[in-house]
Amino acid sequence: MDRTPLEALPDALPDGIELEKYIVGTYYVGLPPMLDARQLAWGAAVEQSTGTWIPVPGETVDVRKRHIAKVIGVFEVPYYEYSTPKDLERREYVIQVAFPWANFGAQIPMMLSTVVGNISMGGRIKCLDLRFPKSFLKSFKGPKFGISGLRKLTGVKDRPFLNNMIKPCVYTSAKMGAGLFYEAAAGGADIIKDDELLANPEYNSLAERVPLFMEAADRANAEKNEKTLYTANITDSITRLFENAEKAQEWGANALMVNFLAVGYSAFQAVCEDPSTKVPVLAHMDIAGALYESPITGIASNLVIGKLPRICGADITVFPAPYGKAPILKERYLGMAHEMVMPLLHIEQTAPMPSGGISPGMVEEVMEDLGPDIVIGSGGGIHAHPKGPRAGATAFRQAIEAKMKGIPVSQYASEHEELKIAMESWGAGRTGFEL
């Protein structure tokens, strides 16, 4: 009988393929015990590359040889060897599939359509990781500034950066926002960003906000003898996204911010890589939970927030911190930061920005977990300080200074009023809520 050549099958040894030609997806899969995991994986590999649920005439041997995805690993957890428990309700696997990246080219939309795509609707399946070959990554430029570039731009040499989010999130008066901006910047905030909920509405437009905020930055800079970056939120429809980026820089914005998942990875990448973008770009995480939060479906947080925004060009990426109001496991939080800073060929580091209910009393733990090459994000922890946002920012800077000097923050607070008040107000533990 006729036999299909082995190279045309959706099956291979990981050692037997040329890995530079493939993106390798690693997945968690949960199945009823009567189903054959390898057979299903083969079917999914075909579905996401050359074929469908039934053979079609055009899916020739030559087409399969060139384009078929290959299952290169099926590992059950636990790995039963001679029998399975009689009362077993589900068998769980880690499965690896290699996708020829020539099928979609060096771009993210069709890559995700392939490696996540229709199989994301197949029940208990979660994409845990994507291994990108050098041949794929060389087409991505990554961050223009990264951590080292941010330090050079701002003159902040070795300590963490302090970022402030203007609060309230949405407000009507740009003049009011500029006043809050000035106070936080004068108190020591290195970077001040728009909230993700405020971009370019008619009642508080970028055209009105950017000049006022940059004037406030200039006044604060002269007072503190430091430079302040303002990340203007340019998130919008695609055509207006690029117009906002251009105009915000014309009006003086020295950094930009994009809700990257709301506009899409590809649009975000285009903004970062555009030659007209001359300033750092901050990636905000909103919508991310819809993709990663389920333990059995979706895409893992280390990809959604960690690796993918970095290769797209994020200089700073906001991600949820486990110290404040964000419900996230610390190991997942550390995993996201790991993806942002570990060596990745030619791609620069992205500055991790933990955020979500962080107060000055948490600075010690944040720095112990992530080190000094980070951006510490705070909104209410600055603006809700009993003595105002200037004192709130000062309290954070005092906490950072204490940790850099190796002095316990609680001890340092006894000699620094702003930090003392913050510690008395919120302590060193969690703030906000847990889900």
CB 239 within 8 A of CB 219: no
The percent of residues in the chain predicted with pLDDT above 70, rounded, is: 98
pLDDT per position as a tens digit, 160-214 = 999 999 999 999 999 999 999 999 999 999 999 999 999 999 999 999 999 999 9
3-state class percentages of the chain: helix first, strand second, coil last, to nearest 5: 45, 15, 40
The predicted structure's pLDDT at residue 1? 40
The catalytic position among 247, 284, 383, 385 is: 284
What ranges make up the beta strands (E) of 202-297? 229-233, 255-259, 281-284
Known catalytic residue: 284? yes
> Where do the H-state alpha helices sit in 274-314?
288-292, 301, 308-312
The predicted structure's pLDDT at residue 430? 54
Instruction: Give the pLDDT band (50/70/90) at residue 279.
Output: very high
Instruction: Give the pLDDT band (50/70/90) at residue 429.
Output: low
pLDDT per position as a tens digit, 382-396 = 999 999 999 999 999
Q: How do beta strands 22-31 and 125-131 pair?
A: antiparallel
Across residues 320-324, what is the average pLDDT? 90
CB 339 within 8 A of CB 317: no
The predicted structure's pLDDT at residue 435? 32
Backbone angles phi, psi at 85, to 5 degrees: -60, 140
CB 79 within 8 A of CB 40: no
Q: How do beta strands 316-320 and 255-259 pair?
A: unpaired
CB 298 within 8 A of CB 121: no
Tokens at residue 53, please? 């649920």
Tell whether omega for the bond before 168 is within 30 degrees of 0, i.e. cis: yes
Question: What average pLDDT is seen over the chain?
Answer: 94
pLDDT per position as a tens digit, 213-264 = 999 999 999 999 999 999 999 999 999 999 999 999 999 999 999 999 999 9
Tell whether omega for the bond before 78 is within 30 degrees of 0, i.e. cis: yes
The predicted structure's pLDDT at residue 2? 55
Tokens at residue 154, please? 């701002």
Distance separating alpha carbons of residues 318 and 149, to the nearest angstrom: 18
Across residues 399-428, what is the average pLDDT? 95
The predicted structure's pLDDT at residue 393? 98
> Where exactly are the structural domains of the chain?
6-137, 146-426
Distance separating alpha carbons of residues 98 and 78, to the nearest angstrom: 23
- pLDDT above 50 for 52: yes
The catalytic position among 70, 126, 167, 403 is: 167
Taking CB atoms within 8 Å and a gap of at least 24, the contacts of 116-120 are 116/299, 117/48, 118/47, 118/48, 119/44, 119/47, 119/48, 120/297, 120/298
Distance separating alpha carbons of residues 24 and 99, to the nearest angstrom: 6
Across residues 110-123, what is the average pLDDT? 94
Beta-bridge partners for 140: none
DSSP string, 126-171: EEEEEE--HHHHTT----SSHHHHHHHHH---SSPEEEEE-SSSS-
- Residue 399 carries which DSSP code? H
The predicted structure's pLDDT at residue 96? 98
Known catalytic residue: 152? no
CATH architecture for the domain at 146-426: Alpha-Beta Barrel (3.20)
Q: pTM for the complete prediction?
A: 0.94
| Residue 196 Rama label (left phi>0; alpha psi -120 to 50; beta) | alpha
In the block, which residue shows the tokens 């490696």? Answer: 115
Query: In CATH, what class is 6-137?
Result: alpha beta
Distance separating alpha carbons of residues 310 and 308, to the nearest angstrom: 5
Instruction: Give the pLDDT band (50/70/90) at residue 432.
Output: very low
pLDDT per position as a tens digit, 61-78 = 888 889 999 999 999 999
The predicted structure's pLDDT at residue 434? 38
In the sheet that 351-355 helps form, which strands lie side by side, from edge to edge? Answer: 351-355, 316-320, 281-284, 255-259, 229-233, 191-193, 161-165, 375-378
Tokens at residue 265, please? 């990875």
pLDDT per position as a tens digit, 133-162 = 999 999 999 999 999 999 999 999 999 999
Instruction: Give the pLDDT band (50/70/90) at residue 289.
Output: very high
Distance separating alpha carbons of residues 420 and 405, to the nearest angstrom: 17
Q: Is-same-fold flag (6-137; 146-426)?
A: no
The predicted structure's pLDDT at residue 8? 83
Selection from 52, 268, 1, 227 nearest residue 140 by Cα: 268
The predicted structure's pLDDT at residue 238? 94
Selection from 397, 431, 430, 429 nearest residue 416 by Cα: 397
Distance separating alpha carbons of residues 170 and 199, to the nearest angstrom: 9
Distance separating alpha carbons of residues 282 and 353, to the nearest angstrom: 9
Distance separating alpha carbons of residues 45 and 51, to the nearest angstrom: 9
DSSP SS3 for 99: strand
Selection from 376, 319, 314 nearest residue 349 by Cα: 314
Across residues 347-359, what is the average pLDDT? 96
